[in-house]
Amino acid sequence: MKIVETRTLRKTYHFGDTEVEALGGVDLSIEKEEFIAVWGPSGSGKSTLCNLIGLLDSPTSGEVLIQGQSSGGLSDGERSELRNSSIGFVFQDFNLIPVLTAVENVMLPLQVSGVSKVEARERAEFLLEEVELKDRMGHRPQKMSGGQQQRVAIARALVTEPVLVLADEPTANLDTRNANLIIDLMRKINQDRGAAFLFCTHDDRLLDRVDRKVHLQDGEIIEDICETISAG
């Protein structure tokens, strides 16, 4: 089943008199349980594509379908609902809320969607155990290492049980040991839970570990290579 489908997706940014065509008509389909990366040089449109697929921004033309549902004609509220129920996000700089503890950060997406505090806490604690941060639940982000913060962010992305996790440069701010830990963890979650992962990255440490690489250049897909890596 297709989790994501983009149809001739275009994005043009305007600032002042200049126009920048960030995406020039991208057609991309992502299937259930894929572990896939969009890569390409700086400015090639990776983050733009990620933001459009994540329904964080609207295309100039074309459309994004999430699990067969077109997002084009939706109201802001309906888009948020579709986003919150289908997609989890992981960012380069972790984006945790500094005044909240680890467990409170993970609870937040559930509370936004109306889950009770008791249930949200229970599910958040379960996820934090899964990312091996049981002993850090009450810590605030600034008391944690980068790798630990990114694991909290992964728990937060997963707590709503999304079909797709979108991660824009998730390993860029991590040393190699932590980058590998994070990649191992995401791969395990991909295999155990069947969540698809879409990375936007130019990090070879991550690119070497995905099943499919979509090469973006000047806002267009110039190559799409699928190779299933055997386990071990």
Ligand X SMILES: Nc1ncnc2c1ncn2[C@@H]1O[C@H](COP(=O)(O)OP(=O)(O)OP(=O)(O)O)[C@@H](O)[C@H]1O
Interacting residue ranges for ligand X, rule: CB under 6 A: 13, 15, 20, 22, 40, 42-48, 202
Sheet with 220-226, edge to edge strand ranges? 87-90, 164-168, 196-200, 35-39, 212-217, 220-226
Q: Taking Cα atoms as reference points, which of 180, 186, 230, 226 lies closest to residue 203?
A: 180
> Can residue 47 be called a binding residue for Mg ion (CB under 5 A)?
yes
Measure Cα distances from 46 to 36, 37, 99 in Å.
Answer: 13, 10, 30
- 171 touches Mg ion by CB under 5 A: no
71 binds, among ligand X, Mg ion, none (CB under 5 to 8 A by kind): none
Taking the C-alpha atoms of residue 174 and residue 189, their distance in angstroms, rounded to an integer, is: 19
Rounded to whole angstroms, the Cα distance separating 178 from 184 reads 10
Q: What is the DSSP string of 121-177?
A: HHHHHHHHHHTT-GGGTT--GGGS-HHHHHHHHHHHHHTT--SEEEEESTTTTS-HH
Tokens matching residue 95: 């984006």
Cα gap 58→48, rounded to integer Å: 10
Place of tokens 């990620």: 50
* Residue closer to Mg ion (CB basis): 46 or 83: 46
Residue among 28 and 107 whose Cβ is closer to ligand X: 28
Show the tokens assigned to 14: 């305007």
Task: Tell me how far, at minimum, the Cβ of 39 lies from ligand X, in Å.
Answer: 9
Instruction: Select 42 or 230, whichever has its Cβ closest to ligand X.
Output: 42
- The label of the residue with tokens 């267009």 reads 220
Residue 43 binds which entry of ligand X, Mg ion, none, with Cβ cut-offs from 5 to 8 Å by kind?
ligand X
CB 172 → ligand X: shortest distance, Å? 9
Of 41-49, 67-75, 99-107, 146-154, the segment contacting Mg ion by CB under 5 A is: 41-49
In the complex with Mg ion, the residue whose CB is nearer, 202 or 212, is 202
Smallest separation (angstroms) from ligand X to the CB of 168:
7
Contact partner, 22, from Mg ion, ligand X, none, Cβ < 5-8 Å per class: ligand X
Is residue 105 near Mg ion by the rule CB under 5 A? no
* Minimal CB distance residue for Mg ion: 47
Shortest distance, position 167 Cβ to ligand X, whole Å: 13
Least distance to ligand X from the beta carbon of 4, Å?
Answer: 17
Q: How far is the CB of 194 from Mg ion (least distance, A)?
A: 27
Judged by the rule CB under 5 A, the positions of this chain that interact with Mg ion are: 46-47
